[in-house]
Amino acid sequence: MLYRDFGKTGAKVSRLGFGAMRLPIRKEGGAPLSGAKGLAESAAVVRRGLELGITYIDSAPGYCHGESETAIGLAIQGWPRENIYIATKYPTWDSACPKCLRLRIEMSLRKLKTDYIDFYHFHGIGWDAYVSRIAPDGGLMAEARKARDEGLVRHISFSFHDKPENAIKLIDTGDFESMLIQYNLLDRQYDGAIRHAHAKGLGTAVMGSVGGGRLAAPSAVIAQATGASTTAEAALRFVWANPAVDVALSGMENTAQVDENVATADRMEPLSAGEIARIDQLAEHNKKLLDLPCTGCNYYTPCKEGVAIPRIFQLYQWHTAFDLKKSAGAAYRNLGKGWEEKNKPATLCKECGECEPKCPQKIAIPEKLKEAHAVLSAEK
């Protein structure tokens, strides 16, 4: 395992981090597999990561049906605490009450069975949430600083899903010491923010390195361009090719995945600029064959029927441009459900014609939606 300075925090973290969102505390017959069985399985997976040199573990109170922190607490028992960096989060949408933040910290400490949290994140914030809920005098940030002064947390951080320009604004406040943000071969919109954070001395952690599992599926395009044995290997090597990334998280469900990802980290041969360029060239060639020049500009949204036009076209491009057929099909079938509840499938399109005049690429949107639905819905 190779290690890297985590910005100016003084921590030296493993290049591969353990994302503790997908531990084997799962639902069976509609009920969570928790209790002794689920926790023991999950703790064993985390412990395997520690044994192989992973030092950075990322969790949150809501992960794994509320059991993720508890599993980590079991896993780290007997392990030198100074050799582990634990990140967890405050659900900023939950309450703007400073007392609630303190209670959340104390609850996380009990579950994690530790005296302090290394990196305490404001979870999934954007600029508006920062201004209205975090920054005001006597508010959440003041309470977080108090907890840091008392040694309950070591560093104040944020995780992020907002617009790239708002990430820059948060970085420039000077309130944060590290950042967790999405970045992968399919989604590079935050590349500039990551480089800006690195230049400012923030520790930079990346989530979604394997695209939430989408880049775990086979891809002939990526294999042809990189020679990687698996798409997941290429995905991690892509992230590590960015010198501004300190740690790449991977959500690992079992010890086999831990072993595979650590082996990739041990090789530590990031994708070359030439390999990345070949992926882009092959993908661009396939996009042209697809005749779907969607840039995701969103000028033609919102659709009054809720059809997720940019999202559907994105999945169609993943299917064809990157040869991620099964992942794209699975994601399409999930539209209208769970976290994709507001993103409706193409079948709800009424062909009203309001979107086409707004599209700068002059895409025949209703026809392309039908085409995308036929391809993506057939992928099992």
Please write the tens of the pLDDT for every residue from 335-358.
988 778 888 999 999 999 889 898
110 in the same domain as 63: yes
344 in the same domain as 261: no
Closest CA to 345 of 355, 354, 334: 334
Give pLDDT, residue 143.
97
Please report how many Cα atoms fall inside a 13 Å half-sphere around the Cα of residue 25, on the Cβ side.
24
334 in the same domain as 218: no
In a domain, 362, yes or no: yes
Is the link from the previous residue into 310 a cis peptide, with omega within 30 of 0?
A: no
Residues 234, 185 contacting (CB under 8 angstroms):
yes
210 in the same domain as 295: no
Give pLDDT, residue 362.
87
Q: Which residues of 222-250 are buried (b: 16+ CB within 10 A; e: fewer)?
A: bbebbebebbbbbbbbbbbbbebbbbbbb
In a domain, 49, yes or no: yes
Question: Where residue 167 falls among pLDDT bands split at 50, 70, 90?
Answer: very high
253 in the same domain as 306: no
Q: Give CA–CA dist 253/26, Å, rounded.
A: 10
Residues 176, 140 contacting (CB under 8 angstroms):
no
At 62-100, the pLDDT tens digits run 998 899 999 999 999 999 999 999 999 999 988 889 999
14: enclosing H helix or E strand: strand 12-14
138 in the same domain as 215: yes
Cα-Cα-Cα-Cα dihedral sign, residues 193, 199, 203, 204: positive
Beta-bridged to residue 251, according to DSSP, are: 19
301 in the same domain as 213: no
Range of the domain at 151: 3-271
Q: Is the pLDDT of residue 104 over 60?
A: yes
In a domain, 276, yes or no: no
Q: What is the mean pLDDT of residues 267-272?
A: 80
Q: Is the pLDDT of residue 34 over 70?
A: no
Q: What is the mean pLDDT of residues 40-64?
A: 95
Question: Where residue 298 falls among pLDDT bands split at 50, 70, 90?
Answer: confident
**By mean pLDDT, which of 29-33, 57-61, 93-97, 187-191 is the weakest?**
29-33
Give pLDDT, residue 205.
98
Give pLDDT, residue 33.
58
138 in the same domain as 33: yes
Q: What is the mean pLDDT of residues 152-158?
A: 98
DSSP state of 133: I
Q: Which residue would you say has higher pLDDT here, 202 or 162?
A: 202
Give pLDDT, residue 32.
55
Count of the separate structural domains present in the chain: 2
Domain of 112, CATH number, reads 3.20.20.100
Most confident region among 163-172, 221-230, 308-317, 342-351 by mean pLDDT: 163-172
242 in the same domain as 356: no
At position 289, the amino acid (one-letter code) is L
CB under 8 Å to 109, separation ≥6 — which residues? 115, 116, 117, 152
Residues 172, 223 contacting (CB under 8 angstroms):
no
Q: Give CA–CA dist 4/55, Å, rounded.
A: 11
Q: What is the mean pLDDT of residues 103-126?
A: 97
Q: In this structure, what token pair is assigned to residue 152? A: 């309950």
Q: Is the pLDDT of residue 146 over 90?
A: yes
Q: In this structure, what token pair is assigned to residue 359? A: 């599209």
What is the crossing angle of helices 365-377 and 325-333, to 10°? 110
The beta strand positions in 109-223, using DSSP E, are 117-125, 153-160, 178-182, 203-207
Q: In this structure, what token pair is assigned to residue 333? A: 């079938």
248 in the same domain as 315: no
- Among residues 213, 238, 271, the one where a domain terminates is 271
Closest CA to 109 of 153, 158, 148, 62: 153
Q: What is the mean pLDDT of residues 220-236?
A: 86
pTM of the model: 0.85
75 in the same domain as 128: yes
Residues 321, 372 contacting (CB under 8 angstroms):
no
**By mean pLDDT, which of 16-30, 72-86, 190-204, 250-264 is the weakest?**
16-30
In a domain, 191, yes or no: yes
Give pLDDT, residue 65.
86
Most confident region among 25-34, 239-248, 265-274, 283-292 by mean pLDDT: 239-248
What share of the chain has pLDDT > 90, as a percent?
59
Question: Where residue 317 falls among pLDDT bands split at 50, 70, 90?
Answer: confident
Give the Cβ contact number of residue 150 at 10 Å.
11
In a domain, 278, yes or no: no
In a domain, 285, yes or no: no
In a domain, 66, yes or no: yes
Q: Is the pLDDT of residue 290 over 70?
A: yes
Q: Give CA–CA dist 141/122, Å, rounded.
A: 9
255 in the same domain as 303: no
In a domain, 163, yes or no: yes
Q: Which residue would you say has higher pLDDT here, 318 or 68?
A: 68
Q: Is the pLDDT of residue 369 over 90?
A: yes
